[in-house]
Amino acid sequence: MKPTDPLTVLPGVGPKLADTLAGLALTTVGDLLFHLPRGYEDRTRVWPLADVQPGMRVQVIARVERADVRFGRRRSLLVNLTDGTGRIGMRLFHFSKSQMRQFEPGQWLRLFGDVRPGHRGLEMPHPEYRLAASRDAAGAEVEATLTPLYPLTSGITNPRLRGLIGRALDGCLRQLDDPLGPLPASIGNLPSLIDAIKTLHRPSPDIDLTQLAAGQHPAQQRLAFEELLAHHLSLTRLKRRLADTLRAQRIRHIDGAQAALFKALGFSPTGAQTRVIGEIAADMARTTPMMRLVQGDVGSGKTVVAAAALVQAVAAGQQGAFMAPTELLAEQHTQTLRAWLEPLRIEVVLVSGRLPKAQRDAANARLASGDPLVAVGTHALFQASTQLPKLGLVVVDEQHRFGVHQRLALLEKGHAAHPHQLIMTATPIPRTLAMQAYADLDTSVIDELPPGRTPVKTVAISQARRDEVITRIAAACADNRQAYWVNTLIEESDLLDAEAAEATAERLKKDCPNLRIGLAHGRLKPAAKQAVMAAFKAGELDVLVATTVIEVGVDVPNASLMIIENAERLGLAQLHQLRGRVGRGAIESFCVLLYQPPLGKNAQARLDTLRRTNDGFEIAEKDLQLRGPGEVLGTRQTGEVGMRVANLVNDAALIEPVQMFAAELSAAEDRLHAVLGRRWLAGAEAYARA
């Protein structure tokens, strides 16, 4: 039997069972080896009946005293058993004539199952059982290793699957390909692949179960290492393949284009912005499409960096596209980019499903003209009806909502050439996670805030002390400052959200009759919403009551107070984003997290984290611990590259060794190529250098 053989080589596996197993992604015998238990049962131990108590799940060996059919509410077979130390009843509700005949008095049985209190003493309802010729014969069959519990699907039971996996282990584990061989000792004392697999399917009774349950056993670590390496290699190969096959239009650096932008903005770039803008310019000057991820904390000036790249593209005669995750954000970014780019005579065109048809057609016509300009929209920008014949650069905002596949689809959009891609994260991603999950991208980090920012002071206040908050708002506004009041809801409902915000605004108007209060939510017409936002920005409103729509993109430096209602409902990343709306000027700013007690443990941890720190990277680490990588990364981890053994949080320590291992592999290949090339390909220099 070979690991590559189909499952049907196993005795008892026909096309029907093979089909069932295919539902568990099992098609070869080797697949069975990697179908790992989700837990274990201890059937190595035989419990004396005297020690058995209700609620336990145990193995016992006992002899039949008598068996009767009982006619209670339901007909059942009760088999009374003893092992000399005590008694127990085995109760079967489903049984056949032939089964009844098995339970002659004196017959020995080995049983495993749950123990319940019965009418007269303890019972085991429907245990797994085996007949045995004697007590010793039953004892001889007791398992020597823990019993694995496998992930199942309908049509296959655990004992059946256990049997098949057992056969695969005995038949072909030794032949399993182990291309990694022994791993460097620096990673820890990890077993060989074969030993790891054997340990996980057949752990000895004294294995550290806590370690196993936590996924931290060396056997699991060995497999996690392989899995992480597999993902890493696939992303780095993807990156290399794209670089080898796709061609982009060069965007040559035009002197003065950027300077003009900062002149219009009225500030100079920070050191970090200058560095990142330079990295982007160097990428875009090549014919390999740029695939760069820009990370930076909220308010670090990512949008400005994106604008600088777009200015470069347009100055070089190409079109740039800015892709936002929602229509609303697309509208807000359009406003921002217009304010920044129109002074440079760069046209910014919004493509939105919410525009009237005539306007939408006009916008599409502008893009189709091929004139150098900036297009802003959601992923709808990349529908067939939208033509961007001179597309040279795509900026994707909020990467975590786009996965690898969507990014690849974007690449297809270019015609003769593929556009350069710049991906901006709305929230920083912890470094280890980024290294693993974004191995196909180059990364830049804006690790510096623009000068003159004062860190936001954050407090958490119970809803019961809402009056104090009102006083705070009144004081801030009397001081000519402005405030946001953000409403949150559990349900993702535009309507309920809007109603809650309206109610808050009404209450605030009653509590603070002197204040000018505006209201923004997703149900307003775009024009109405823009008018409110503009009024707030112009200082014509004191308080902006909003739903979470203001999360990204609003920029009002005079706003110094952020109230977030029901803050316990929001995730860390979102709270941090919202808080980032204040503290944008030199004035001291505050964020008030209003919560509804009692706080759950996780919610408490989130609010504490925000009170303690303003550092987006630290918050991201905490977020990862609290929520797990799937939610931090969005579709990328859950849908596209779900891990089977590895866990990016708990196995973070493996990520660097994986990268080093991969780097060493590729260095070894380069060395080989250099030596062999010189030796055998001397005449074909160009080929050898390829």
339 or 362, CB closer to ligand ADP? Answer: 339
The single-letter DSSP state of residue 181 is: -
312 touching Mg ion, by CB under 5 A: no
**Nearest distance, CB of residue 620 and Mg ion, angstroms:** 16
CB 518 within 8 A of CB 502: no
Determine how many CB atoms are found less than 10 A away from the CB of residue 282: 12
Residue 171's binding partner among ligand ADP, Mg ion, none (Cβ under 5 to 8 angstroms by kind) is none
Residues that bind ligand ADP (CB under 6 A): 267, 269-270, 273, 296, 298-304, 450, 555, 584
Residue 556's binding partner among ligand ADP, Mg ion, none (Cβ under 5 to 8 angstroms by kind) is none
231 or 581, CB closer to Mg ion? Answer: 581
**Nearest distance, CB of residue 266 and ligand ADP, angstroms:** 8
Q: Which residues neighbour 620 within 8 Å (Cβ) at sequence distance 6 or greater?
A: 427, 428, 429, 430, 572, 573, 632
Only one of the segments 93-101, 296-304, 305-313, 405-413 lies at the binding site for Mg ion (rule: CB under 5 A); that segment is: 296-304
End-to-end Cα, the chain, rounded Å: 41
Only one of the segments 143-151, 241-249, 302-310, 380-388 lies at the binding site for Mg ion (rule: CB under 5 A); that segment is: 302-310
**Nearest distance, CB of residue 301 and ligand ADP, angstroms:** 3
Residue 443's binding partner among ligand ADP, Mg ion, none (Cβ under 5 to 8 angstroms by kind) is none
Residue 432's binding partner among ligand ADP, Mg ion, none (Cβ under 5 to 8 angstroms by kind) is none
201 or 579, CB closer to ligand ADP? Answer: 579
CB 305 within 8 A of CB 481: no
Compute the chain's Rg from CA coordinates: 33
Residue 659's binding partner among Mg ion, ligand ADP, none (Cβ under 5 to 8 angstroms by kind) is none
Q: What is the edge-to-edge ordering of all strands in the sheet holding 391-397?
A: 348-351, 374-377, 319-323, 391-397, 420-424, 291-296, 442-446
Q: What pairs with residue 87 in β-bridges?
A: 82
**Nearest distance, CB of residue 556 and ligand ADP, angstroms:** 9
Cα–Cα nearest to 466, from 568, 595, 559: 595
Angle separating helix axes 327-341 and 302-315, nearest 10 degrees? 60
**Nearest distance, CB of residue 657 and ligand ADP, angstroms:** 32
**Nearest distance, CB of residue 449 and ligand ADP, angstroms:** 8
Residue 29's binding partner among ligand ADP, Mg ion, none (Cβ under 5 to 8 angstroms by kind) is none
Residue 301's binding partner among Mg ion, ligand ADP, none (Cβ under 5 to 8 angstroms by kind) is ligand ADP
Query: ω into residue 598 within 30 of 0, thus cis?
Result: yes
222 or 302, CB closer to ligand ADP? Answer: 302
- What is the C-alpha to C-alpha distance for residues 353 and 357, in angstroms, rounded to an integer? 8
Residue 562: its H or E element? strand 559-564
**Nearest distance, CB of residue 306 and Mg ion, angstroms:** 8
577 touching Mg ion, by CB under 5 A: no
Only one of the segments 232-240, 295-303, 373-381, 510-518 lies at the binding site for Mg ion (rule: CB under 5 A); that segment is: 295-303
- What is the C-alpha to C-alpha distance for residues 150 and 40, in angstroms, rounded to an integer? 9
Quote the tokens at residue 382.
């990349």
Only one of the segments 184-192, 301-309, 342-350, 493-501 lies at the binding site for Mg ion (rule: CB under 5 A); that segment is: 301-309
By rule CB under 5 A, what count of residues binds Mg ion?
Answer: 1
Determine how many CB atoms are found less than 10 A away from the CB of residue 212: 19
**Nearest distance, CB of residue 207 and Mg ion, angstroms:** 50
- What is the C-alpha to C-alpha distance for residues 575 and 426, in angstroms, rounded to an integer? 12
Only one of the segments 297-305, 446-454, 627-635, 651-659 lies at the binding site for Mg ion (rule: CB under 5 A); that segment is: 297-305
HSE, CB side, 13 Å, CA atoms: give it for residue 306. Answer: 31
Residue 270's binding partner among ligand ADP, Mg ion, none (Cβ under 5 to 8 angstroms by kind) is ligand ADP
Among 303, 336, 444, 547, binds Mg ion (CB under 5 A): 303
- What is the C-alpha to C-alpha distance for residues 417 and 289, in angstroms, rounded to an integer? 9
**Nearest distance, CB of residue 310 and ligand ADP, angstroms:** 13
Name the residue number minimizing CB distance to Mg ion. Answer: 303
- What is the C-alpha to C-alpha distance for residues 259 and 316, in angstroms, rounded to an integer? 15
Residue 299's binding partner among ligand ADP, Mg ion, none (Cβ under 5 to 8 angstroms by kind) is ligand ADP
In the numeric block, the tokens 């996780």 are attached to 602
31 or 397, CB closer to ligand ADP? Answer: 397
**Nearest distance, CB of residue 583 and ligand ADP, angstroms:** 10
- What is the C-alpha to C-alpha distance for residues 470 and 246, in angstroms, rounded to an integer? 57
- What is the C-alpha to C-alpha distance for residues 378 and 370, in angstroms, rounded to an integer? 20
Q: What pairs with residue 319 in β-bridges?
A: 391
Q: Characterize 365-374 residue by residue with b for buried, 16 or more Cβ atoms within 10 angstroms of its Cβ, and e for exposed.
A: ebbeeeebbb
CB 312 within 8 A of CB 254: yes
**Nearest distance, CB of residue 331 and ligand ADP, angstroms:** 15
List of E strands, 144-284? 147-149
Residue 128's binding partner among ligand ADP, Mg ion, none (Cβ under 5 to 8 angstroms by kind) is none
**Nearest distance, CB of residue 476 and ligand ADP, angstroms:** 20
Only one of the segments 198-206, 300-308, 375-383, 511-519 lies at the binding site for Mg ion (rule: CB under 5 A); that segment is: 300-308
427 or 504, CB closer to Mg ion? Answer: 427
271 or 389, CB closer to ligand ADP? Answer: 271
- What is the C-alpha to C-alpha distance for residues 102 and 211, in angstroms, rounded to an integer? 42
303 or 334, CB closer to Mg ion? Answer: 303
3 or 301, CB closer to ligand ADP? Answer: 301
43 or 579, CB closer to ligand ADP? Answer: 579
CB 424 within 8 A of CB 441: no
DSSP SS3 for 374: strand
- What is the C-alpha to C-alpha distance for residues 620 and 579, in angstroms, rounded to an integer? 14
Residue ranges binding Mg ion (CB under 5 A): 303
